[in-house]
Amino acid sequence: MRAIILAAGYATRLYPLTEHFPKPLLEVGGRTILDRLVDQIRATLPDAPVTLVSNHRFIAHFRDWAARRGDAALETLDDGSTGPEDRLGAIGDLRFALDRIGENDDLLVAAADNIFDFSLGDFVAAFRRRPGVWICVHRVEDPARRRRTGIAELGSEDRVVGFQEKPAAPRSEWGVPPLYLFDRAAAPQISKFLAGGGSPDAPGGFIEWLCPRVEIRAFRAPGAIHDIGTLESLVACRAQFAAQCEESDRRS
């Protein structure tokens, strides 16, 4: 298995904070968002190749970050885009990465701007017991938030029986963050999706297209998922982690 981290977005909703600096390298609780993700990947897949896809504007930041980590199995790719107007999109970047690294491995695919408050080990273990396509789900209580994310409908044994990307009328409360596991048989489907006119932007669009074609299973996240999409969410996340640190300090 190898990991692909999608980090080529421009985070325009966080401008001017991210106009000249990549969102995944912002700090939350004394660690960058990206370091938190890679630490979790390494805890589960200590020796797996990790490929990070950036845009041309921010590639130097990510290469400096990678050099500081000193991880020989971590590579960075420049997708060549320079702004929101010519971005490849998440699925476009995934296809870009696969064109360079090949389609011979199972894949853990994650966006670089989310913090997952749970170990990835159980997610990967579920995939290894039953290889295929897996998504991660968590309960979204706010109806307005359900309209801004992917929504899965679950059947028996948590098989995904329906999927909607940012639906106007969500059919369930199971939100789907950008965290996926694909067996190697799924990779060629990305090219079919794009060749058929599928949008290269949101990864949920690919999952929605894939749902009636292959079996997809859901892993229920046992912890919180922090989506750092706006300045308000960044401030709230930083405050939550600061409070956790203060509580930890008091207990120690």
10-24: pLDDT as tens digits: 999 999 999 999 999
102-132: pLDDT as tens digits: 999 999 999 999 999 999 999 999 999 999 9
Instruction: Enumerate the β-bridge partners of residue 31.
Output: 28
Question: Is-contact 117 12, C-beta < 8 A?
Answer: no
Quickly state the pLDDT bin for 223 (edges 50, 70, 90). confident
236-249: pLDDT as tens digits: 999 988 887 666 65
The Cα 157–Cα 74 span in angstroms is 35
Give Cβ neighbours of residue 236 (< 8 Å, ≥ 6 apart). none
86 burial level (CB within 10 Å; 0-12, 13-18, 19+):
exposed
148-184: pLDDT as tens digits: 898 999 999 999 999 999 999 999 999 999 999 999 9
Using alpha carbons only, what angle is made at residue 236 by residues 249 and 4, rounded to the nearest 5 degrees? Answer: 95
Which residue segments constitute the domains of the chain, with CATH numbers given? 2-251 (3.90.550.10)
Spacing of C-alpha 241 from chain mean position = 20
The predicted structure's pLDDT at residue 229? 86
Among left, alpha and beta (phi > 0; psi -120 to 50; other), residue 29 is left
The answer to whether residue 252 scores a pLDDT higher than 70 is: no
According to DSSP, residue 159 is labeled B
pTM for the full predicted model? 0.93
Q: Token pair of 84, please?
A: 């929101």
